[in-house]
Amino acid sequence: MKAIFSYGALVLVLVLAAPFFAHAQEVAGYVYDVELIPESVESVLELVNLLIAIVAAAFAIKLAALSQGGSLEKTWNLLAVAAVIFAALEVVGALQGYKIAHFGGLGDIIELVFLVILTTVFARTRKALLKQVLSK
């Protein structure tokens, strides 16, 4: 079955749209400004997200250690790396959210690395699973 858009076309559209997103940041104010939750609740959620991200990273590392030698060993290892990078993203976000430290652009870099690794995991896993299905 053919998809309407190939992966390359999707990447091309996103790359071409990037300058528009960058320009939108320069425009003063928001088009829509909606507060879904109060700041006090948001700060609690930030802390909860941080704790869950750290616990998830620890579990991911333990799962990767258990899967050594399995057919999807590389997948679990990369997922563990992605979980640790996501936890790092949450740490940076919490430091900035609680106004402890500001690292301009670091969150975006960590997010990019996280997404590249996650996309790699999905592509490799898809390839491995297709290979298993087609070999039967």
pLDDT in tens, 72-125: 888 899 999 999 999 999 999 999 989 999 999 999 999 999 999 999 999 999
pLDDT in tens, 44-57: 999 999 999 999 99
Degrees, nearest 5: CA angle 91-62-86: 25
Q: What percent of the chain has pLDDT over 70?
A: 81
User: Is the confidence at residue 136, as pLDDT, over 70?
Assistant: yes
User: Is there a domain that residue 89 lies in?
Assistant: yes
Maximum Cα interatomic distance, the chain, rounded to a whole number of Å: 58
Give the pLDDT band (50/70/90) at residue 22.
low
User: Is there a domain that residue 62 lies in?
Assistant: yes
d(CA 48, CA 42): 10
User: Is there a domain that residue 94 lies in?
Assistant: yes
User: Is there a domain that residue 82 lies in?
Assistant: yes
Instruction: Find the domain containing 50 and state its range.
Output: 43-134
More confident: 20 or 53: 53
d(CA 121, CA 136): 23
Give the pLDDT band (50/70/90) at residue 132.
confident
User: Is there a domain that residue 54 lies in?
Assistant: yes
User: Is the confidence at residue 1, as pLDDT, over 50?
Assistant: no
- Domains: count for the chain: 1
User: Is there a domain that residue 96 lies in?
Assistant: yes
Average pLDDT over all residues of the chain: 85
Token pair 């290892």 is found at 77
Burial class (CB in 10 A: 0-12, 13-18, 19+), 124: middle
Q: What is the pLDDT of residue 10?
A: 65
Give the pLDDT band (50/70/90) at residue 26.
low
d(CA 4, CA 6): 7
Contacts of 96 (CB under 8 A, 6+ apart): 102, 103, 107
Contacts of 97 (CB under 8 A, 6+ apart): 43, 46
d(CA 102, CA 93): 9
